[in-house]
Amino acid sequence: MRMNNIKFFLALTCIFLLLVVSACSQKDAQLIQVSKSKNSCKYSKWLQIYEGEKSIEIKIIHPDHPERIYSFSCIKIASKNLSQSKEYILIPCKNIAALSATHIGMLSVLDAENTICAVSDSKLVYNPSVKDGLQSGAILSLGESQEISMEALLSSGAKTIVHSAFSGDFPHREQLKKMGLTCIPNFDWREEDPLGKAEWLLLFGYLTGKEELAKNIISEITQSYNQILKNVKNQSKEKVIFGNFIRDYWYAPAGESYNAQLIQDAGMNYIYRKTKGTGSVTIPMENILMDTKDVKYWINPGFSTKAEIVKSNPKAKNLNCYNNGKIYCYSHDVNKFWELSAVHPHLVLADLYSIITLNSPKNLHFYKELR
């Protein structure tokens, strides 16, 4: 009797082990299936998209915690037998809450503004059809991006929320998930490569079912960008400064930042190109005066006239580049820049290249000389 019991337990253990092994091998097979497919993003550091046979896997890596990966499976047909451990997005998405200017810009490039049902910071919207939607009430304004109105969000009927995740996860993410809403963090603003930032267009392409169009646009952008890079043979001799004073300090793009990459690609002789960091560098007021003694170009002061610069900080009129140089900025049409520059890095590059190589560049896409 005891022997029989032992045999019974051994058999049971073997069956259990077999089940576990087979489950693991199935899971491995699934993983292999996804990982075997090629990542559609070539330049992006934080976005990965894999096209599987049955679904599209989107993986978003948190830049500050790379071990934290947001995974989404895009499916075309809803099913009741879906795994509870995964987060699914039914594509094409019909109701997207686009909570950043760049998101609106990317959706507009795909001609998918009609999928937008809610936006934040509505005062800063540039896109005419989104503006019309806001005016007619078809698109809801959710307030400022840092203080989103949850009630307005829920009443907008949004099913997919794309947010910039400046301060971590979207508020009430888990509760919203239970209500069937998917929150997708967008870290395009943390990309250091301009083409990597533009590649976030693919995310919107897959979400809206316009992935082929998105791929074609990215391909064209990459070609144009590389074409300009070929034209840039040598670094310009003229020195360039970026940024402006914020009260007592000058904030400029750090040497390893997204902007610094664009500046370097345009062949500009940026004076802080050797600084470390991917954000911005802080320079004391005194240093700026001495560092910019022979700087001829001042880019992105954040104002649209020279008078506005001096009004903001009277010390600016002591700078050589203010008195004897040329100043360019996008501030005359700032909303256009924030909405479209991320998805058109080739146009920003073309503008910067024209500024540094031509005497009086005309037909700039985003920039204008300050008078």
Partner 1 sequence: MTNKRIPFILVCSLLLVPLSAFIHLSTGEITVSLSDFFSAFFDFNADNSTHILIREFKFPRIFMAILAGGGLALSGMLLQTLFNNPLAGPYVLGINSGASLIVALTLMSGFEFFGTDIGLIGSALIGAFLAGIIMMAVAHRIRSQISLLLVGLMFGSFTSALVSILESISGAESLKAFTLWSMGSLQQVEFSQLPLIGFVFICGVILSFFLIKPLNMLVIGERSAGLLGLKISQVRFLIMGITSLLAGLITAYCGPIAFVGLAVPNLTRILLRTQNHRWLILGNLFFGAIFLLLCDSIIQLFSKQIALPINAFTSIIGAPFVVFILMRKLK
| Residue of 2, 237, 247, 371 interacting with partner 1 (CB under 8 A) | 247
Minimum CB–partner distance for residue 283 and partner 1 (Å): 9
Residue whose CB is less far from partner 1, 213 or 285: 285
Q: Can residue 315 be called a binding residue for partner 1 (CB under 8 A)?
A: yes
Near partner 1 by CB under 8 A: residue from 13, 22, 223, 282: 282
212 or 286: CB nearest partner 1: 286
Which residue from 13, 22, 223, 318 is in contact with partner 1, where contact means CB under 8 A?
A: 318
246 interacts with partner 1 by CB under 8 A: yes
Number of residues that bind partner 1 (CB under 8 A): 18
Work out whether 212 is an interface residue with partner 1 (CB under 8 A). no
Nearer to partner 1, 288 or 356 (CB): 288
Instruction: Single out the residue of 259, 103, 124 nearest to residue 194, CA to CA.
Output: 259
The whole-angstrom separation of Cα 306 and Cα 323 is 10
Smallest distance, partner 1 to C-beta of residue 273, A:
18
Instruction: Give 269's strand partners.
Output: 239
Query: Can you tell me which of 284, 307, 358, 369 binds partner 1, judged by CB under 8 A?
Result: 284
C-alpha span between 268 and 260 (Å, rounded): 10
CB 145 within 8 A of CB 120: yes
| Closer Cβ to partner 1, 12 or 307, answer by number | 307
List residues binding partner 1 (CB under 8 A): 246-249, 282, 284-287, 289-290, 293, 311-315, 318
